[in-house]
Structure 1
Amino acid sequence: MSQQRSERIGKILHYLWLHNQLSIQQAHELLDYALATLRRDFNYIASHYPGMERYHGGLRFSVSSADKEFVFDMKKSINTDAKKEIARLARQYINPNDFIILDSGTTCLELAHILDIPARVVTTDVNIAHSLAQMSHVESYIIGGMIRSGYFTVGESLATEMLNTFSVEQAFISCDALSLDTGITNATLFEVGVKKAIIQRAKRIILLADHSKFEQTNPYTISTLSCMHCIITDKALPDAIYKRYKQAGINIIR
């Protein structure tokens, strides 16, 4: 697959992940691609990605009918370059032998992949734990509790209780959405208690959020932005949003 087509399909998948449905006409207006090109891309997505349903004039995505592992893979494929960029910036904040927490999520997973120094790491993510377990220079701990199917994250009350046994220098957390008005919010209640516990157990909290998360609001509140030592994002964040957060006194890095 060419890089151009890969980028097009990535943008289409991102929209479908957020909105579950996209017509060819909407994609044409939003993404400015030719209609014939989009028809070919839609047909390709419908035949290669589980949970995608092609209907006359568009695509639907059903999480319930998709393979759970595919759901994770799809989430991981969204904004891949942005997540790697954020991980590289976040890596600069970790010193040899630091004791840190890595929250669940694909951006934190990217950070785990490039952790090339001795460190002690607590995580609430099965995939991150698997990656860290292969690193002889990292002493890793995984928090126990219920695992969210298809996402490989650990949550619920047992996980929050276990987190209370740790105190660390800093934690890197993720979120589904953030805004100046509503702070950090999540789409599901499953991880909210864990994220709140992480914030309580670390001296410094660094939020890793790609540009698509900004000025969005989800139903479940995690914390205000004032609880964050800094927010690390990517260069695709619009200048106007970046300046607005700076003016509000938020330590934002891109």
Structure 2
Amino acid sequence: MIKEKRLIQIKEYVVKQQSASLDELVKEFNVSKNTIRRDLQELLNTGAFKKVYGGIAVNQKKLEHFHEREIRNHHEKKILGRAAADFVEDGDIIFIDSGTTTIEMLNHLKEKKITILTNNIDIIVGSIPFENITIITIGGVLERKTKSFGINYNLEMLNTYNINKAFMASTGLTPTNGVTNASLLETELKKKIVKRSKTIFLLVDHTKFGQYGLTTYCELNNIHYLITDKMPSQEYQNLLKENLVQFIIAE
């Protein structure tokens, strides 16, 4: 098995189980202990995992429930969702990320004839009444706290679709960590979407600047438009300009 593919599968296995022993992984992936040790060291170097006696475990901070995040800064999230929806045109093939801000786009898309790819349950269910919206779901393991599907086993299906606009959510962004996410289950999907999409929109309210989550799914220079509710500090204005990111202040 190719090393990169094995690392992804080991990561998915450990995330699903929350922890795994060295012997367990040797048996599961049919490789030597030395190979597994080297693989685990690479995972440990990411900071997403921690070493435990005899193996490795997820080093994930508490992931807030979707409802807890949804009620925080709700007004700001609504105006960001409306501003983002203005960029969507009839005929677009878009990806809507799982997030309490991106979900606010749906109410402003119901009159448009578009195709939406998503891993978010609320987007899927909320689109049912709108026959003009074609929904393509990206299945996987259900993460109840984020109301989304993660550890998606069919990411290669995304190579079939020409996604012209992706609307991404984030736990936060910093100069050193880039654009981050709190859920390990969703990270590989987010990375794939960023690679496959022509134009990337990042929706973050003002509280997300200077914050960061467990994993980085892209760098700032991968983002084309950043939609927020307040002008960021001069440091972040300079950072966005250096990375050729256009920032939009929603009102």
Equivalent runs, 1:25-64 vs 2, <5 Å = none
Q: Distance in 1 between matches of 2:178 and 2:86?
A: 25
TM-score (norm 1): 0.68
Taking only aligned residues, the RMSD between alpha carbons, in angstroms, comes to 2.2
State the partner residue of 2:94: 100
1:225 aligns with 2:227: no
TM-fit CA distance, 1:80: 0.7
Q: Which has the higher helix share?
A: 1
State the partner residue of 2:84: 90
Q: Distance in 2 between matches of 1:150 and 1:158?
A: 20
TM-fit CA distance, 1:225: 0.6
State the partner residue of 1:19: none
TM-score (norm 2): 0.68
Task: Give 5+ residue unaligned stretches, structure 2.
Answer: 1-61
State the partner residue of 1:120: 115
Q: Distance in 2 between matches of 1:112 and 1:92?
A: 11
TM-fit CA distance, 1:122: 0.8
Q: Distance in 2 between matches of 1:119 and 1:153?
A: 21
Task: Give 5+ residue unaligned stretches, structure 1.
Answer: 1-62
The answer to whether the 8 Å contact 1:144/1:162 transfers is: no
CA deviation string 1:180-222 (max 9, x = no partner): 2321011231111010011122111111111111111223111
From 142, 151, 156, the equivalent of 1:147 is 142
State the partner residue of 1:172: 167
State the partner residue of 2:66: 72
Q: Distance in 2 between matches of 1:154 and 1:111?
A: 19
Of the two structures, which has the highest relative contact order with CA contacts closer than 8 Å and spacing of 6 or more?
A: 2
The answer to whether the 8 Å contact 1:159/1:194 transfers is: no
Q: Distance in 1 between matches of 2:140 and 2:177?
A: 28
* Sequence identity (%): 31
How many equivalent pairs are there?
Answer: 187
TM-fit CA distance, 1:242: 5.2
Q: Distance in 2 between matches of 1:119 and 1:141?
A: 11
Equivalent runs, 1:177-188 vs 2, <5 Å = 177-188=172-183
